[in-house]
Structure 1
Amino acid sequence: MSDIADRSLAYEGVKRIEWADRSMPVLRQIRERFAAERPLDGLKVAACMHITTETAGLIRTLQAGGASVALAASNPLSTQDDTAAALVEEYGAEVFARAGTDREGYYAHIHQALETGPDFVLDDGCDLVNTLHTDRTDLLGTVKAGCEQTTTGVIRLHQMAREGALKFPVVAVNDTDTKHMFDNRYGTGQSTLDGIVRATNTLLAGKTVVIAGFGYCGRGLAERARGLGSRVVVTEIDPVKALDATMQGFAVRPMAEAAVEGDVFITVTGNRDVVNADHLAVMKDGAILANSGHFDVEIDVRALSDMAVEVHHGIRPQTDEYVLADGRRLVLLAEGRLVNLAAAEGHPAAVMDMSFADQALTCAWLAASHASLSPAVHDVPKEIDTEVARLKLASMSVSIDLLTPDQEDYLHSWRIGS
């Protein structure tokens, strides 16, 4: 039995789901293919994902392929209650999610999704897989395989695999080019700044924006912040990524130095305490703190709370002001959670089209191939990534060259010299 906030919101949810679907032509094509081929017939899928209009497109595609789906939220602040209602009332999925639920409710919903006894699991941050391996080991024997679609989740899965703790194969959907290159770079880059602007209505032109982490997400953020007229400072622990940022013209500093300069701070590292008490102690009055990494540990919110003599909650939507003893005010967005989903709507549907196409095709591949895979972290087959890119280009009316037979022979021969 689903647990959602308000079933009467279904009509509004359907309208928004259909709007997003217009920008997801690749997933629509796969849905039509799944409806004809039924690659997931009779399978149960449990998913822990952001419950947004774009995710609804994936759920409908899995259902078209014959799967029954139970869905829990991967972040309490990202759940769209109207989308959840539409999935239950109009599309026949089981959904366990309410916007703004507390930590206890969050994990209760994950447990409810697992109670369906899934054959496959789809995760966004590894909380569902972690729960299976800690609290619900009784269900491990029935789970055939899974997918993970975040950098943070893949890191956790690799740690589990190294320790021999992972009990079934999981595919790192996050690591496909059509996911991390576009979802992380273009999606996170745009939607994070969208969330910050919606929450604060600040002008980014002329501001110093400090971006912690220069992976695909950080790179996308830096490009877009610069495009809006910001001076961008990057902090990094990886010499290669720091060099990349430097060669692209961004200032690179340790956070201890950047903390004094910044007007807006955005964390996208996947690690904890990236902005800590020492950094908070030297920040400017009015500095804005936002996180776009998966978990709410990158900004030390507890330290910020301890330092504050007064807190003004909700001065704007998803905006809290912490007043320090010396009178400085630091502004925390979305409680330190994912600002692009809590204060905005997450990635544009056109970006999620590719990510969820990867996810859907990988599920179909797993249904046929899981028995041959070991309990480890596996890559998505290259042909799936290529097919998604091909379909996306076709939907955009973009044509590319094809190799001639002579070119194919040349590339596959070592005997032809200069």
Structure 2
Amino acid sequence: MYDKLRALVRKPREEHPADKTPGANVPETNEEPAQPEQLQDLFHLVQLGTSSSHPSTSDIPFTSKVLSVSTFRVPANRAVQLVVVACEDGIWFGRASDPSSIQLSIPLPKVTACALLPEEEVLLVISDRELLHFSAHALPPGQPKGPLQKLASNVEHLLTTQLQGRRAVVYSTRKGGDWKVHVLDIVEEEDLPARWGFQKLHELSIAFPFSALQPLTTRLALPTTSHWELLDPARFRTELLPHPSKPQPQPGRVRQQEEGRPLGCVELTEGEVLLVYSEYGIILHRSSKQVLRTALWKSRASQAAFHPPYLLLFAEGLIEVRHMATLALGQLLQAQGVRCVSPPGLVRRRGGLEDWETAELEAGEGEVWAVVSAGVGEGQRVVRLCPANV
């Protein structure tokens, strides 16, 4: 069953900016099928608790669906990497190097999201649509959890990011048809048991339902059914980017005609954005709405993650790796039953597209975690997409 984790590598006019919607005259994609010599060995799938692609003999007996994975180190012992795994039935905790140490630490009902702030030793969890605040000191099994601190109700989404140079917590609420985005500042308060508290900075009402919160360099991206809403909470400004039309395939290539589902948005530069959909990707000039580059994916993706300078597309049985600035195909990873569990991470923009094109893959650019379902009754295995050159 572990053979499914091995990589399949080396196998074989300018628009008027006034009032046009992006992609109104999208050119045919000019991407050629990748030749064997073009594919590279960029990422390996490494199981949690190991340093190679060989599977560990110890499985973690998760009792519900894995939602997210985060790792951190504490100042008292930097040599030991700790892992927090959010599952639908609560928070699991242990040493990343020893899967047998990972246990259910904080049982909670109906968990949907988790965010870890390692420097502040704070854990935030959405449980039964309530935003809960825990100290990281409560994570080891058997430690007292303290009184439950509830920050908000009717919560849908959660992330941590940098806004205006400051670390911030962002969450969304939905009550009936009323959608709001809330931004919290993290403040140190000596009189609090956990030392850290939260102060509300901004609260913004959103006119359209949205399916996610994604961090940008200076703003937030909210995907709706008709557009991306780029939100600047500090200035109470929004910018709408209508979903571009799907690129037309080359003659002779038959593709499904339905529009793609929005999966991701990245500010590559101050003027260019990468919009990722389930079937295609488009690099767009933000102000003129001119389409600069397009690509159709090999398979229909259900999730997207970013490990700069690469985009990782999770499809059924396949992870497709493409360069974020050129959209060129770099690698195909066979991974049956794989599902991304990394929370949306901040990708910082660069000076120009040429800076992206010359960028190298680095281990420190972010972690991408996934879960592989081994089969019925065989549990879930946590894996990391590790750069092959590290």
Q: TM-score, normalised by structure 2?
A: 0.25
Query: Greater strand percent: which structure?
Result: 2
Higher helix proportion, which one?
1
TM-score by length of 1: 0.24
